[in-house]
Amino acid sequence: PTPANWRATDDFLAETLVGHDGALEAALAAQAAAGMPAIEVAPVSGKLLALLVRISGARRVLEIGTLGGYSTIWMARAVGHGGRVVTIEAEPGNAAVARASIDAAGVGERVEILIGRAADVLPTLADPGPFDLVFVDADKESNTLYLDWAARLGRSGTVVVLDNIGRAGDIVDPDSADSMVVGTRAALEMLGTDPRFDATALQTVGIKGWDGVAIAVVA
Ligand code: DHB
Ligand code: MG
């Protein structure tokens, strides 16, 4: 097995199980045209988020890190009519691109984009909580802060998903100088020790290389 097989397998899985979608592909094209990095979740992971929303029956979703709105569209579709996604984006330019893509996908009325550093925005979010599912996918240095807010803005049973927990295996290095690794290791330790969470994690390989996702439920 090689990384090339990972990519080909992910492409096969996406073709077979996810298929093509004009609005999602247009959102990625708009994101690329605006110069944003292609660090959105993979198609199979976007669908995983949507399935987690549906499996948990989530109607109120909080996303930390909008980027171009790709994962936002996945989750906004999954909450259904009357559902709501609040998504926080630090970069106003990113938020504008995401806004257009989300509206073009036909789910604009379900999505509120809050512009600012999540550390500043999260304390203002009394409504429309409690959130039923929280997806944390922003600056990794702040992961423990975001998990704390996920627990505070959630309820017993809230699903918490934390992206990028593998980082090509760099996560095993306790002496890493990479601030993203440091922040993610701290988040995983929090998920393992903080009594507010019950969590596990899955390594993933595919078009995004070798990484992973942690999935938790709030106690
Ligand atoms: C990075 C961030 C992400 O959210 C991701 O999915 C992949 C990479 C990054 O900042 O390197
Ligand atoms: Mg990510």
Identify the burial level of 157 via C-beta atoms within 10 angstroms of its C-beta, where 0-12 means exposed, 13-18 middle and 19 or more buried.
middle
Q: Which two tokens stand for residue 98?
A: 């995401």
210 pocket-lining for ligand 1 (C-beta < 6 Å): no
Fold of 3-218: Rossmann fold (3.40.50)
Give the separation between CA 25 and CA 35, rounded to whole angstroms. 16
pLDDT above 80 (res 1):
no
Structure tokens at 28: 């990625």
Where are the domains positioned within the chain? 3-218
Compute the distance between CA of residue 206 and CA of residue 42 in angstroms, rounded to an integer.
Answer: 8
Is the CA virtual torsion 41, 70, 197, 193 positive or negative?
A: positive
pTM above 0.90, yes or no: yes
Looking at residue 37, its pLDDT comes to 98
Owner of token pair 């077979």: 16
- Ligand 1 site-directed mutation target among 41, 87, 140, most atoms within 8 Å of CB: 140
Q: Write out pLDDT tens, residues 68-125.
A: 999 999 999 999 999 999 999 999 999 999 999 999 999 999 999 999 999 999 999 9
pLDDT digits over 201-215, tens only? 999 999 999 999 999
The mean-pLDDT minimum among 1-5, 99-103, 151-155, 169-173 falls in: 1-5
Report the Cα 57 to chain-centroid distance in Å: 17
Contact 204, 166 (CB under 8 A): yes
- The number of the ligand 1 atom at minimal distance from the alpha carbon of 138 is 4
Confidence grade of residue 126 (pLDDT, cut at 50, 70, 90): confident
Output the CA 136–ligand 2 centroid distance in Å.
Answer: 8
CB 39 near ligand 1, within 6 Å: yes
164 CA from centroid of ligand 1 (Å) = 6
CA of 181 to the centre of ligand 1 (A): 11
